[in-house]
Amino acid sequence: MSQLVGDITSANATLVLTVDFLFPAGIQLEQFATDQSYSMDELTIAEDRMGVDGNLVAGWVPSIKPVTIMLEASSPSYFALTQLYRACEQKRGFYRCGLVAAVPSIGKTFIWSQGVLKSGTPVPAGKKVLDPTTWKFDFGKLEVQG
């Protein structure tokens, strides 16, 4: 009996970034780096400790949901993210952001909200060919649908 092959394709995933006042309708990000489009750091769910009597205690803790987006230097989305970076610099503040990643291969949609652009590389490294740029966002909430 043959087993089904699980589909883990990421090539058909889409990412849409919303930014209050700049891109309220959202912009679809495109032309990602060769090996990675986005990633999320692991999340801390609990803080725990062991008492001197050998009993473990734990408590749930809220955590920031960090997401990194990697774009080729030639990406049309690179220009939008540099525009966001410049707007934050001029404002000397931040703009609230949201991100939606639809991943058809696994039937999931990931929705990050209450976010800010934390850091980025507005200048791609000038090597033999330009390096991809990375943009790091911190979000307050993550919802998984599907």
Assign domain 14-145 one CATH number from 2.30.110, 1.20.120, 1.10.3470, 3.40.50.
2.30.110
Place of tokens 């999931």: 108
Domain spans in the chain, listed from the N-terminal domain onward = 14-145
> In whole angstroms, what is the distance from residue 131 CA to residue 56 CA?
46
- Answer yes or no: are the C-beta atoms of 84 and 22 closer than 8 Å: yes
Strands in 23-29's sheet, in edge-to-edge order, are: 23-29, 14-19, 97-103, 108-120, 133-145, 65-71, 38-40
- Amino acid identity, residue 20? D
- Amino acid identity, residue 47? E
- Answer yes or no: are the C-beta atoms of 32 and 71 closer than 8 Å: yes
What global pTM score does this model have?
Answer: 0.90
Cβ count near 114 (within 10 Å): 13
Tokens of 44: 């801390």
**Predicted confidence pLDDT, tens digits, the chain (146 residues):** 566 788 888 889 999 999 999 999 999 999 998 788 999 999 999 999 999 999 999 999 999 999 999 999 999 999 999 999 999 999 999 999 999 999 999 999 999 999 999 999 999 999 999 999 999 999 999 999 99
